[in-house]
Structure 1
Amino acid sequence: MLQRAHDGRVIHVLVATPAGTTGQGGIDRVMASLKRELEQHTRSDVRVRFLASRGSGHVAFSALHALNFCVRMLAARFRGKVDVVHINLASHGSTYRKLVISRWAEMLGIPYVLHLHGGGYASFWSGASASLSRRIGTMFRQASGVVVLGKIWRDFVLSKVREAEERVTVVPNATEIPTLPHIGGGDTVHILFLGRIEKDKGTPELCEALGLMADMPGWRATIAGSGDVEMLRHRLGQLGLSARVAVPGWQGPDDVARLLAEADILTLPSFVENQPISIIEGMAAGLAVVATPVGAVEDIVSDDETGFLVPPGDVAALKDALARLVAEPDLRRRMGEAGREQHRARLDMAPFADALCAIWRAAATSRMEKR
């Protein structure tokens, strides 16, 4: 439990998250879990409100939500009910909106913390025009704190904004402890993929790897997510896997919880990631993990301990890792248990919330001392 700020004040935090805490994306899911954690285990020195900065509708209306956030920020400033703004940041449209929100916070004299998400942010910033790159750099320089999900992202930010070194903090993503007991797939080992069905997530390679396992008994798979669902089903049919691989499309939170409880292996053979929530959810449920060492995945998955890390695009290595876990139940259980222990120690919501509260308090206190 955090203590009150040194002067006894309660710190009020306004969080900008894409669609509020009801959205389907990874950022909104993390923020929804954070909200529940803060409601269930009240911190005495912080009060937090979560507001949409993009909305859940068509992107054409996203500017209205960003404007509404700015209006709400102004109103809270007049009421003395905002000391820090927490800005969840991704590439493209998210950055354009957050440039406005961060600038508005600066004009109002409110310190803000940037929370960097999105596996493609390095290529986005590096490929930005000179003008946009300068504006992004200014946004990071003026931030009172910068939260990144892993060491690779800390190094990237510092390569762009060296003077931010003292304000960049690594805070891994987190998920809640599952409420459903883990039962696994029983006599048939259940391989689970959770994520968007697209090339960047490695779903074509996953299909090919499963195709190489067609003659191996004792497994089934579920590839769940939105995206190129029909194309995936067609390819699985060509490989003769339609009866063994379910493709249910997008799944809501209750369905995801059920799938995790009924799975034995979580796989995500992505080419681009920041730090995927689905891997952390798999570890929380006690699943062995097969993933690729992209983004900050290596910060949470230890090769040959909590799972296997295979090179992106390497179908043979992906097949070998999955097949070994199917064939070796003791190895599968050992890795799953090691992942569950790591989740409870580092990737649970309680330490995540404590870390963010400390960052918010430091940002608010620093601004108070400068006045």
Structure 2
Amino acid sequence: MKILYHHRTRGRHVEGVHIRGIVHALRALGHEVSVLSFPGADPEHESTTQGASKRSQIAAAITRLPGVLFECLELAYNVVTLFRVGAAIRKQQPQLIYERYSLFLFATVWLARRRGIPLVLEINDSALVERVRPLRLKGLARRIEGWCLRHCTGLVFISSYFRDQAQTAYGRIAPSVISPNAVDLSRFDPSRFDAAALRAERGLAGRMVCGHIGVFAHWHGVDAFVEAIAARMDEAPQLALVFVGDGRTLPAVRALVAERGLSDRVLLPGRVAHDEIASWIACMDYAVLPNSNHYGSPMKLFELMGMGVAVVAPDYAPVAEVISDGATGWLFPRGEIAACVQRVLDLAAQPNEHRRVGDAARRYIQHERQWRNNAEQLLTLMPGGHAVMGGQSMLEGAH
């Protein structure tokens, strides 16, 4: 089957990983997939040419525009989409269009309906949730979003929370599946690494290592976690922390670690390339996710679990859909940083628990949360797909 994948993201970081995962999985299932990206933002072919770099700089500058002006440009992008997607349809004659949904973008849904082509929307963002960038034209965004969710062929939500919010706000939406993030196990495979050598190289030999991968931002809670556990590190003298990533709160965390004299026990390597993340996870015995949100499906969760590293995580619904407490990870009451710290300290003395739960986490990922699973789920939304009924699919991949 010919599939056109359309997105309006910058195609970098987490969204790029997700796009590549779905596209490659669909191809592995035997489908012919072409990707239509925002100009200069092809996640499959990151160009280093001067022209591509300039387009990327322009895109970055646009995202820094004042709220209303930025949202007006998002709305205007429908004109560009009409021409670009229309041309791709004429040239490629796709049998399915798969779109990573973006706010204010309705042109693809309109075109697909006009041409009689099935269209599946993947919902990672919404006008219904609190966003990092405040939404100014919220009423207009919700009206457009409701129309799109009712008039596409099918919907892929990353969490049941997202779908519940959409059904409450918009009524009877298109048939849907719940499809959290996933992982490429050929890249996140612990057998590829000499963990002992990596630990020795990074000053972690003989330590019990708890790690984290992600952006240093206030809503992820890394700064609050490090501040809370720094005062109690003496309770677990064998414990070392490795927090990989960069962001706004990293300088404050670095300063705190230096001030408390913990630089030999708290490693902060900063941002690393996605190809290097697995080698850092290979150094970890277990991991921690200090905070998340009500609707997100953290990519890092799947990459850690895929490497056989179980995670201490907050009990938000999307996380609890993936982690079974005490079986494939450990949950603590969301927002209670003291409970998170206590669980991390308790686990520092339980290496057998790490192995037992970590092995179960990897088996769960192997069976249910590879990109192939996501691709198979979205295809059930095609006309004639399996067991699609009552506004949702029976194939939800729930854990």
Q: TM-score range by the shorter chain?
A: 0.7 to 0.9
Unaligned runs of 5+ in 2: 42-55, 64-73, 200-204, 389-399
Deviation string for 1:18-46 (max 9, x for gaps)?
A: 234xx21x22211212333344x242xx3
The corresponding residue for 2:164 is 155
Which residue pairs with 2:219 in the alignment? 200
Q: Does structure 1 retain, via aligned residues, the 8 Å contact 2:127–2:138?
A: no
Question: Could you say what secondary structure the match of 2:32 adopts?
Answer: strand
Are 2:258 and 1:237 aligned? yes
- Cα 1:84–1:208 change in 2 (3 A) is same
| Aligned residues of 1:150 and 1:170 also touching (Cα < 8 A) | yes
Shift of the 65–163 alpha-carbon distance from structure 1 to 2, 3 Å rule, reads closer
1:257 to 275, 278, 286: 278
SS of 1:176 mapped into structure 2: coil
1:50–1:179 Cα change, 3 Å: farther
Q: Which residue of 2 aligns with 1:135?
A: 144
Alpha-carbon offset, residue 147 of structure 1:
0.5
Could you tell me which residue of structure 2 aligns to residue 219 of structure 1? Answer: 239
TM-aligned CA distance change 1:295 to 1:66, over 3 Å: farther
Change (3 A) 1:34 1:17: farther
After superposition, the C-alpha distances for 1:144-182 in whole angstroms (9 at most, x for unaligned) are 111112222221121122211x61211221111124526
Residue ranges of structure 1 left out of the alignment (5+ in a row): 1-9, 367-371
Normalised to the residue count of structure 1, the TM-score between the two structures is 0.82
Is structure 2 residue 84 aligned with structure 1 residue 72?
yes
Per-residue CA distance 1:251-307 (angstroms, 9 max, x = gap): 112220111122111211114251111011111000121111225111001112222
The alignment status of 1:50 with 2:70, answered yes or no, reads no
In structure 2, the CA distance between the partners of 1:31 and 1:241, relative to structure 1 (3 Å rule), is: same
Q: Do 1:51 and 1:69's aligned partners in 2 also have CA atoms closer than 8 Å?
A: no
The answer for the alignment partner of 2:23 in structure 1 is 35
Aligned partner of 2:17: which letter? R
What SS does the corresponding residue of 2:166 show, helix, strand or coil?
helix
**Residues 17, 50 of structure 1: 8 Å contact kept:** no
Q: Aligned residues: percent identity? A: 22
The superposition leaves residues 290-341 of structure 1 with CA deviations (integer Å, 9 ceiling, x where unpaired) of 1112251110011122222122332221111111221111111111011111
Residue 302 in 1 paired to residue 318 in 2?
no
CA contact (8 A) 2:312 2:344 kept: yes
Deviation at 1:236, TM superposition (A): 2.0
Let me know the Cα RMSD of the aligned residues: 2.9
Aligned length: 343
User: Which secondary structure state, in structure 1, belongs to the residue aligned with residue 316 of structure 2?
Assistant: coil
TM-score by length of 2: 0.77
Moved more, 206-215 or 10-19: 10-19
What's the offset of the Cα at 1:346?
0.9
**Alpha-carbon deviation of 1:66?**
7.1
Distance 1:173 1:71, change over 3 A: same
Shift of 1:88: 1.4
> Cα distance, 1:241 vs. partner?
2.1
* TM superposition shift of 1:105: 4.1
8 Å CA contact 1:266, 1:287 repeated in 2: yes
For residue 147 of structure 1, give the secondary structure of its aligned residue in structure 2: strand
- Does residue 315 (structure 1) correspond to residue 320 (structure 2)? The answer is no
- Return the alpha-carbon distance in structure 2 between the equivalents of residues 80 and 326 of structure 1: 55
Most deviating of 174-183 and 332-341: 174-183
CA apart distance, 1:247: 1.5
User: Hey, what's the Cα distance between the residues in 2 that align with 1:255 and 1:143?
Assistant: 38
Alignment of 1:81-92 (within 5 A): 81-89=93-101
Report Cα offsets for 1:319-366 as digits up to 9, x if no partner: 111112211111111110111111111111222222223335658xx9
Counterpart CA distance in 2 for 1:197 and 1:120 is: 24
Q: Distance in 1 between matches of 2:213 and 2:100?
A: 22
CA distance in 2, matches of 1:68, 1:113: 20
The answer to whether the aligner puts 1:338 opposite 2:360 as a matched pair is: yes
Q: For the residues of structure 1 that align with 2:90 and 2:383, how far apart are their CA atoms?
A: 20
Matched-pair contact (CA < 8 Å) for 2:309–2:358: yes
3-state SS, counterpart of residue 18 of structure 1: coil
Counterpart CA distance in 1 for 2:310 and 2:378 is 28
Q: Which of 57-66 and 239-248 deviates more? A: 57-66
CA contact (8 A) 2:128 2:165 kept: no
Deviation (angstroms), 1:126: 9.8
Q: 1:80 to 1:176 in 2, by over 3 A?
A: closer
Q: Could you tell me which of 320, 335, 348 is aligned with 2:370?
A: 348
Q: Is the 8 A contact 1:17 1:28 kept in 2?
A: no
Query: How is 1:99-118 mapped onto 2 (pairs within 5 angstroms)?
Result: 99-118=106-125
Tell me which residue corresponds to 1:5: none
* 2:93 aligned partner, one-letter code: K
SS in 2 for 1:113: strand
Asked if 1 retains the 8 angstrom alpha-carbon contact of 2:128 and 2:166, the reply is: no
